[in-house]
Structure 1
Amino acid sequence: MTGQVRLGVQIAPQHAPYEKIRDTVFAIEEMGVDVVFNWDHFFPLSGDPDGLHFESWTMLAAWAEQTSTIEFGALVNCNSYRNADLQADMARTIDHISGGRFIFGTGAGWFERDYDEYGYEFGTPGSRLNALADALPRIENRWEKLNPPPTRDIPVLIGGGGEKKTLRIVASHADIWHSFSSPAILEHKLGVLGSWCERVERDVSEIEISTELRSRTPAEADELYDLGTRLFTIGISGPDHDLAPVRDWLAWRDSRNAG
């Protein structure tokens, strides 16, 4: 697969005041990071479970206004928390605020505390994936009806690696597929994704492969690159937002792109 390597940074919206998060977004944009993500949860996923935490979509709208070059989105939105047509309208509005830099990252949802405390039906993994499959055509149809329409074909990023449902949804709807796969697992999953793409008559090369860099070495990243990964994402969290790993991975990105 050809194409430039991109580096994404996921800023976990937890354990830091918003001013710190905002300043970190400024810093990584200046460093030349390609994409900044948050996540769509209502409580921390690590550390103090009742620690500082902020909501995803309102934060993304603020990022749309404060940034000028970097792409951004949630890694990932939880489809269960909002009506599908509303999600489309929110995404279109943020797309306009940013001048066309928004990525619509989405998934089926999984964090039970969010559901319980905010009054959403948790269901089962299967029912949540079915709901995502039902929502994406509605989102795409709403984008065609909105006035004004989105400034571009908003890229859809779908996270997850389930072979029976998730990768089928990816084949049908995603521009970017994100996973936490090791090289060996990624190779297998790409074969499954390719099979689903054949069934829906789509070229798998149209889907950008995105992989998490957590605890990975440059050698492992090279293997993921050789398998076709072009978007690599590293996560950082409050309270400190250590940017040293970001600098290291930016240097790796630039070395791959120079080669």
Structure 2
Amino acid sequence: MSHPSFGLMTAPMQVDYQDILRVWQEADGIAEIEHAWLFDHLMPIGGDPDGPIYEGWTLLSALAAQTQRLRLGLLVSSNRFRPPAMLAKMATTVDIVSGGRLNFGIGAGSRPSHPLARREYEGHGLPFHDFAHSVESLAEACTVIRRLWTEPRPFDFDGTYVQVKGAYGNPKPVQSPHPPIVIGGRSSATLRVAAEHADVWNIPGGDLDDLVNRSALLDRYCAEIGRDPASITRSVFLPVSYDEPTVTRKAIGEAVDAGFTHVVLGLSNPYPVGVAHWVADELINA
């Protein structure tokens, strides 16, 4: 089993920019914390529904410019929010700004069953297709994005959901052949996309049996297309309890023992003073 890596996630809602920046810059100086993440929503999904929330990619670029070491990304970008060629350009920009530290997270977007899912799409004039549409278009988006990052000449792509003509990415990302692709989700359809395109697969924690079963299903889908399942790093998101760190430590241990060696620890706000040092001391080193 590879050595586990640990990161932080600060949801950019119901919080001030300066508070997020403080946590990221503190974590940037702590070797045990290797990566940091934002999420990708346009309206709050918790707390005051009319409270503040920041756009993920522009905030990520600002944080990339003010950190030196952390790998960084969105856990995960909604493929519903931005055309894939535009998203590829944005991601390239962040990879360059960060000096090659981007982990490119992407997913199908909120499921229709989420009670707040539709609100942020309607509020921004975005179409809200059914889940089959969103996950099938995700596969095409990953193909186009990867080609924009790697192909030396313009190309056309005429998919069912994505069409581009004369698409070309210049400059290319710093990372070669491209930034690691992190696909988030647990549905069977999303796991099939992950088997084809992901370098890292992320799933929310909580139910250990579900984590193990979903990981086994990803193994099966990899085998069906002739891909080594071990080539996809298993990643888990775990919420942090400031009051009961033993609960979080137990969840970390169980996930790592189950093969989830990429651990993202979700911090709730307000963030205590020195929270990144607390995470390193109480959760990682402990």
TM-score > 0.5 by shorter chain: yes
CA 1:109–1:243 in structure 2 vs 1: closer, same or farther (change >3 Å)?
farther
Gaps of 5+ in 1: none
Q: Does the 8 Å contact 2:23/2:275 carry over to 1?
A: no
Paired with 1:58 and 1:202, the residues of 2 have a C-alpha distance of 34
Higher RCO structure (Cα 8 Å, ≥6 apart) = 1
Q: Which residue of 1 aligns with 2:16?
A: 17
Q: Which residue of 1 aligns with 2:73?
A: 73
Q: Which residue of 2 aligns with 1:198?
A: 223
Gaps of 5+ in 2: 111-116, 152-168, 242-246
Counterpart of 1:130 (choices 136, 148, 157) is 136
Displacement after TM superposition at 1:112 (Å)? 1.6
What letter is aligned with 1:108? A
Please tell me whether residue 230 in structure 1 is matched to residue 253 in structure 2: no
Paired with 1:217 and 1:95, the residues of 2 have a C-alpha distance of 31
Share of identical aligned residues, percent? 31
Displacement after TM superposition at 1:199 (Å)? 1.2
Instruction: Please give the TM-score of this superposition, normalised by the length of structure 1.
Output: 0.91
Q: Does the 8 Å contact 1:7/1:253 carry over to 2?
A: yes
Q: Does the 8 Å contact 1:7/1:250 carry over to 2?
A: no
Please tell me whether residue 28 in structure 1 is matched to residue 27 in structure 2: yes
Q: Over residues 27-57 of structure 1, what are the superposed CA-to-partner deviations in whole Å (9 max), with x where a residue is unaligned?
A: 2222332111111111111110111111111
Please tell me whether residue 147 in structure 1 is matched to residue 170 in structure 2: yes
Q: Over residues 217-252 of structure 1, what are the superposed CA-to-partner deviations in whole Å (9 max), with x where a residue is unaligned?
A: 3233222111211111121243x2136775454344
Count residues in correspondence: 252
Q: Does the 8 Å contact 1:236/1:242 carry over to 2?
A: no
Paired with 1:245 and 1:213, the residues of 2 have a C-alpha distance of 16
Q: Which residue of 1 aligns with 2:280?
A: 250
Q: Which residue of 2 aligns with 1:174?
A: 198
Paired with 1:102 and 1:174, the residues of 2 have a C-alpha distance of 14
Counterpart of 2:186 (choices 138, 161, 176) is 161
- The structure with the largest helix share of the pair is 1
Q: Does the 8 Å contact 2:27/2:277 carry over to 1?
A: no
Q: Over residues 146-191 of structure 1, what are the superposed CA-to-partner deviations in whole Å (9 max), with x where a residue is unaligned?
A: 233211120111111112x111011001111111242211111111
Query: Which deviates more, 220-229 or 45-54?
Result: 220-229
Q: Over residues 117-142 of structure 1, what are the superposed CA-to-partner deviations in whole Å (9 max), with x where a residue is unaligned?
A: 00111111111111111111000111
Paired with 2:2 and 2:140, the residues of 1 have a C-alpha distance of 32
Q: Does the 8 Å contact 2:23/2:276 carry over to 1?
A: no
Paired with 1:87 and 1:57, the residues of 2 have a C-alpha distance of 9
CA 1:104–1:219 in structure 2 vs 1: closer, same or farther (change >3 Å)?
same
Please tell me whether residue 49 in structure 1 is matched to residue 49 in structure 2: yes
Counterpart of 1:217 (choices 248, 254, 257) is 248
Query: Which deviates more, 68-77 or 208-217?
Result: 208-217
Counterpart of 1:120 (choices 95, 105, 126) is 126
Paired with 2:74 and 2:251, the residues of 1 have a C-alpha distance of 25
Instruction: Please give the TM-score of this superposition, normalised by the length of structure 2.
Output: 0.83
Displacement after TM superposition at 1:193 (Å)? 0.5
SS at match of 1:45: coil
Q: Does the 8 Å contact 1:6/1:253 carry over to 2?
A: no
Query: Which deviates more, 96-105 or 212-221?
Result: 212-221
Displacement after TM superposition at 1:19 (Å)? 1.7
Displacement after TM superposition at 1:16 (Å)? 1.8
SS at match of 2:123: helix
